[in-house]
Amino acid sequence: MDALRIVSVVGVVAIHVFAGMVANPDVHGTAGWWGAVVADIGFVWVVPVFVMISGALVLAPRQYESSPAAFYRKRLPRLLTALIFWSLIYFVLVRTLFSQIRPTRVDLARFMLDGQPYTHLYFLWLIIGLYVVAPVLASFLQGGGRRRAFVFAAMTLGATVATGISSSVLTAMGDNSPLTLLALTQWLPYAGYFLAGWALREVRISGWRLALLGGLTAVAVAASIVQYGLRPSLPLVDALLPLSYFGPVVAAASLGVFVCTNSALATWSPGPRVQSAVRELSDCAFGVFLVHFAIMVLVRAVPPFDTAESSLPLSVLEWAVVVVPSFLVVFGLRRIPGLRRVV
């Protein structure tokens, strides 16, 4: 879980870094652009896997041995503090002062109501929502065994995927029906992944089964990359297999990555120093998710990274330049009393 969390947060940074080049029409279709698509869409599974890791840990019955209220007192204050702190940081410092964007009162209301004061901060509302319903979900799962967990997760995630396909098909038919998520509903489509993390937490496969699932997972990721790269020449595929967290191919890739990684590393037994380093980096992952966008904005303001969206080598270098300071900043913040609560 720790190793998977580290890889996932590095993948989140990659998505945001390479998105600039992927969206640049001046390089569209070039070899460099395809490289950026591979680096971006190749990590399309990271957010669902983050949610699955949370489900695997948070839905454990021991979390609620005393009462749901005790769970809320333990978990929610830190998340709410982080939500307020980072919303203000990104809205006031990054968006308003640094980027020189002057939001209107309508913008302020929209940022508050849709739960997205900045690009990636919807994730805080998502996690808070899942934590609020976690005691109810855990209560239903308790005593039902693995079968109940599998069925519940499959039904919930299946409903999410079916809804995602329905919206995509209706949009392709000319009836614009997007899936609109607001602050208090950001968590809903991710409940299936949350439950899947708990249901699959102890699944371990090996041998040809692991090789087969690993191959199918790689095919799902590769198919997502090709599908994105060939847009808009595959309208029927885009309609039936929407390339989003709620699409069937991305869901399959996310489940595959989760099971394959846990299975492949099941017998991994590193030495004490490596264990300590992995745990520390894993503990920093949540903070890196929150802080990396601010660092990326600062990096892009200086040469040569102000032209990185046109160069794959510069984008790769930017990725490294954002990842390393992000971990260092969070490592430092975690050692400052008070600020530790926001990372």
At 17-61, the pLDDT tens digits run: 999 999 999 999 999 999 999 999 999 999 999 999 999 999 987
> Which residues in the chain land under pLDDT 70?
98-101, 177
Q: What is the pLDDT of residue 99?
A: 62
Alpha helical stretches, state H, 173-247: 191-199, 207-229, 235-240
Answer yes or no: are the C-beta atoms of 133 and 188 closer than 8 Å. Answer: no
Cα–Cα nearest to 317, from 37, 118, 39:
39
**DSSP 8-class letter at 180:** -
Answer yes or no: are the C-beta atoms of 152 and 199 closer than 8 Å. Answer: yes
Q: What is the pLDDT of residue 273?
A: 92
Residue 110 in 3-state DSSP? helix
In a domain, 94, yes or no: no
Q: No. of H helices and E strands in the chain?
A: 13, 0
In a domain, 83, yes or no: no
In a domain, 12, yes or no: yes
Asked if omega into 304 is within 30° of 0 (cis), the reply is yes
**Interval 246-257: pLDDT, tens:** 999 999 999 999
In a domain, 161, yes or no: yes
Answer yes or no: are the C-beta atoms of 217 and 8 closer than 8 Å. Answer: no
Answer yes or no: are the C-beta atoms of 341 and 286 closer than 8 Å. Answer: no
- Domain residue limits at 208: 2-59+133-342
Count how many domains the chain has.
1
Q: What is the pLDDT of residue 198?
A: 96
In a domain, 92, yes or no: no
In one-letter notation, the amino acid at residue 114 is D
Cα–Cα nearest to 21, from 326, 333, 316:
316
Answer yes or no: are the C-beta atoms of 327 and 281 closer than 8 Å. Answer: yes
In a domain, 87, yes or no: no
Q: What is the pLDDT of residue 172?
A: 87
Is the full-model pTM beyond 0.85? yes
In a domain, 122, yes or no: no
Angle between helices 312-333 and 31-41 (to 10 degrees): 30
In a domain, 128, yes or no: no
- CA 189 from centroid of its chain's CA atoms: 13
Q: Please give the Cα distance from 308 to 7 (Å, whole number).
A: 23
